[in-house]
């Protein structure tokens, strides 16, 4: 009986007893509310990307610009990695154990940011090349039909 009274006066017990039940009831409702909005956001992003790809796939100069931009982002990423590695190896902060994890975290933010930018640009170029091949194949097919 004493343990029951002790548990009733303990906020941690109330939290562990009722939080999972409340979460089980609320998560499906929250998901039903958020899922269409997330889906709409992704569809809109994909639609904008395809519109831009359709505009760029016919122009060789703009395609070259996108490729050079992806390559420059790659070299920027490599530069950030090299500078971060040199700072990590040569810094006096890397010796002290308490500061080391914070120092590595601060160094990793620009590296990860530049890597994400590079990967997004690279995916964009790959998408442009894929749709350009389709466009060229369609043009060849149309020219062959016109010649026959």
Name the pTM for this structure: 0.65
d(CA 130, CA 124): 10
8 Å CB contact between 70 and 122? yes
Domain ranges of the chain: 1-47, 57-148
At 55-94, the pLDDT tens digits run: 887 888 888 999 999 999 999 999 999 998 888 888 776 6
The tally of CA atoms less than 13 A away on the side-chain side of residue 102 is 5
The per-residue pLDDT for range 7-66, each reduced to its tens digit, is 777 777 777 777 788 888 888 888 888 999 999 999 999 898 888 888 887 888 888 999
Nearby residues of 69 by Cβ (< 8 Å), 6 or more positions away: 121
Cα distances (Å, whole numbers) of residue 64 to 13, 44, 69, 91: 63, 26, 8, 40
């Amino acid at each position: 009986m004493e343990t029951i009274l002790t548990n009733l006066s303990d906020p941690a017990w109330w939290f562990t007893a009722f939080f999972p039940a409340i979460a089980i009831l609320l998560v499906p409702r929250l998901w039903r509310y958020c899922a269409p909005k997330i889906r709409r956001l992704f569809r809109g992003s994909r639609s904008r990307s395809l519109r831009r790809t359709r505009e760029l796939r016919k122009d060789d100069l703009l395609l070259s610009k996108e490729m050079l931009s992806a390559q420059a982002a790659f070299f920027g990423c490599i530069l950030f990695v090299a500078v971060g590695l040199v700072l990590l190896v040569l810094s006096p902060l890397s010796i002290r154990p308490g500061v080391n994890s914070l120092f590595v975290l601060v160094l990793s933010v620009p590296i990860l940011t530049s890597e994400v930018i590079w990967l997004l640009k690279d995916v964009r170029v790959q998408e442009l090349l894929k749709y350009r091949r389709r466009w060229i194949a369609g043009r060849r097919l149309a020219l062959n039909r016109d010649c026959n």
